[in-house]
Amino acid sequence: MFVPTTSSCPSWQARFKRICIALVIVALALCAMPNFYQNSTVLSISPIAAEHVLPSHDVLQQILQRNHFNVAEITSLASPEQKSTVVTLTPQTASAAAQVVLAEALRDQAVVKVTEQATAPMWLQKLGLSPIKLGLDLNGGVLFVLKVDTAKALEKRMENIALEAQALRVKEKLHGVRIERSSAAGVELVALPQGQTALKQLQAALVTQFPQLSATTHQQGSLMRTNLHYNEAGIAAFDKQTMTQALTTLRSRIEELGITEAVTQRQGANYIRIELPGVQDPAAAKRIIGATAQLSFHALQEVGGKPVKAEHGTVNLNPLAIFTGADIDSAQAGRDEYGKPLVQLHLSSQGGAKMLRFSRSNVGKPMATLYSEYIADSRGEIQENSNVISVATIQQVLGQRFSITNMGSWQKAEDLALLLRAGSLDAPLTIVTERTIGPSLGAQNINSGFQALALGLSLTLGFMLLWYRKLGVIACIALVANLVCLLGLMSLLPSVVLTLPGIAGLVLTIGMAVDTNVIIFERIKEERKQGSSMLTALQRGYQQAQSSIVDANLTTMITALVLMAIGYGPIKGFAITLALGIVTSMFCGVVVSAQLSQWFYRVPRAAAKVVKNNPVKEVQHG
């Protein structure tokens, strides 16, 4: 810990420390500056395709005014990729409702989105600096808590294993063996006496392909039965893998929606908490985030096939997919030569190889696109709903690129492309909590929170000035520097989100920072009462207060870290603010105030020479 001394280090070393401290404060103050320029909510209008022309400003204004929206500004932006129009409304909270109106009016011409636009000076934006991200309670938005049905996902996995076992049995011509579903979480291989060798061969192939499977074999009369299932360790590993995949997919979907300040985290054993600050269209977010869409491609099989609903009646599909959504690298919505919506797919190398093998031997034959999702029935039970959305004849050998046609509407094509880009979900999701906070309530929370912060800061500064006088001035400067550093640090770290409890953490940080100064200043007063000079009292005060300051802040830091590790939402926001506040209060309350004390009570050069030549004597000063 740095403490002021009269001659403990060379002047160049002390000067270097002051420069470093000043640079840290200036850098963090620069990071805090964008908070004076909060982002504005605007409507971004871009053409569906390059050949489409955006409507004029007058047309947009007429549409909005006809629906009783007040237009503040309409501007056009041009980039190398595409042109767009930006519409700012008064108030900005009306952007979500206006987006619905414009999307309906321009559905064949343009895509309308609600976006955030930076208002900070361009030089700050070029430095990559941005304001602190605001949580739900300050910025408004939507909160979802979703339940991940891992048991249903395990049941689906075992169904796929059973299909794979059937395909292997046919491919390897293993006679005398049949495959049965023993339970929702198990597959049973049954062999006659002449098929026991084939059973062991099939069992070995499946365990190699699915390493987490456990096999239990027993004899039942003349039949040999092998039950393939997941043991407790295997189920735990599968549940963990399913939750990780769900988290990754949901984060990808949120990124595709253009929401950059979302919080997505696991909550408990099989729940996921999603916070979407600033989202003003909850229906669109719910439609994408809650979807459990899966896409697979199948050959038609009239005899022994699986009947599935299609647009006109039903079709029989081969249960084993040619490839699935997991083999899709990217997907984009587009239109064919007749202007009808489609989805253009780009497969991975593995998926392209599967498609190449199948299409090479099936030119002129049909291939179906199966769209599956989990939905809740009237009793609230989760059921799988599958529909064939496209049946197309393979005209030529296909590779990694091809299209899904007959999508019905542009919105369906866009949603399907987004889901495929973000990845499919194997486990059903159920939204158990949905809460929407309006932006006007968020603005009220910001005003109330910062009024409390301003009041607490004013009273603290006033008390320190009245009680400690000149030392109080040092504490006040260090306190303001602490607040600036904390705001800068919170703006600098991308994972920090400011919530209403976070503002409470800011107020608490002020008290803790002052507490550091109070401990030091009381030590200094005791030294002065014992007859020490001001410089000696400063040196001893800072040295003797170090252990108390470190102990107090360390115990609080441990509490903050525990809250950060196990807390969710506002609790975590409070813990993060508290932890960062401890770091900045230690820096400003000790290091910065030590330098200020050294400057305020600096020794004149003549007196410094006396101290150097006569180290035993004390110079009475102050």
DSSP for 257-318?
TT--S-EEEEETTTEEEEEEET---HHHHHHHHT---EEEEEEB-SSSPEEEE-SSSEEEE-
Question: Considering the entire predicted model, what is its pTM?
Answer: 0.62
Same domain, 407 and 457: no
Q: Is residue 169 part of a domain?
A: yes
Note down the domain range covering 529. 11-35+438-613
pLDDT score at 229 = 84
The string of pLDDT tens digits covering residues 468-504 is: 888 888 888 888 888 899 989 888 887 787 888 888 8
For the four alpha carbons of 482, 487, 493 and 498, in that order, the dihedral sign comes to positive
Q: What is the full DSSP assignment across 486-547? A: HHHHHHH-TT-EE-HHHHHHHHHHHHHHHHHHHHHHHHHHHHHHTT--HHHHHHHHHHHHHH
Tell me what the mean pLDDT of segment 522-541 comes to. 80
Q: Is residue 258 part of a domain?
A: no
pLDDT score at 586 = 85
Same domain, 402 and 312: yes
The string of pLDDT tens digits covering residues 225-255 is: 888 888 888 888 888 888 887 887 788 777 7
pLDDT score at 533 = 78
Q: What confidence tier does 221 reach under pLDDT thresholds 50, 70, 90?
A: confident
401 or 66, which is more confident: 66
Give the end of a domain, one of 409, 434, 459.
434
Same domain, 430 and 521: no
Same domain, 68 and 190: no
CATH of the domain at 361: 3.30.1360.200
Distance in angstroms (rounded) separating the CA atoms of residues 261 and 6: 49
Give the end of a domain, one of 434, 466, 495.
434
Same domain, 587 and 461: yes
Q: Is residue 176 part of a domain?
A: yes
Report the range out of 403-407, 408-412, 510-514 with the highest average pLDDT.
510-514
Q: Is residue 145 part of a domain?
A: no
Same domain, 52 and 29: no
The string of pLDDT tens digits covering residues 419-458 is: 676 666 667 778 888 887 766 666 777 788 788 888 888 8
Same domain, 370 and 482: no
**Average pLDDT of the chain to the nearest whole number:** 78
Q: What confidence tier does 3 reach under pLDDT thresholds 50, 70, 90?
A: very low
Q: What confidence tier does 376 reach under pLDDT thresholds 50, 70, 90?
A: low
Query: Tokens 């955030």 map to which residue?
Result: 116
Same domain, 15 and 96: no
- Encoded amino acid at 502, one letter: G
Q: What share of the chain is helix, strand, coil (3-state, %, to 5)?
A: 50, 25, 25
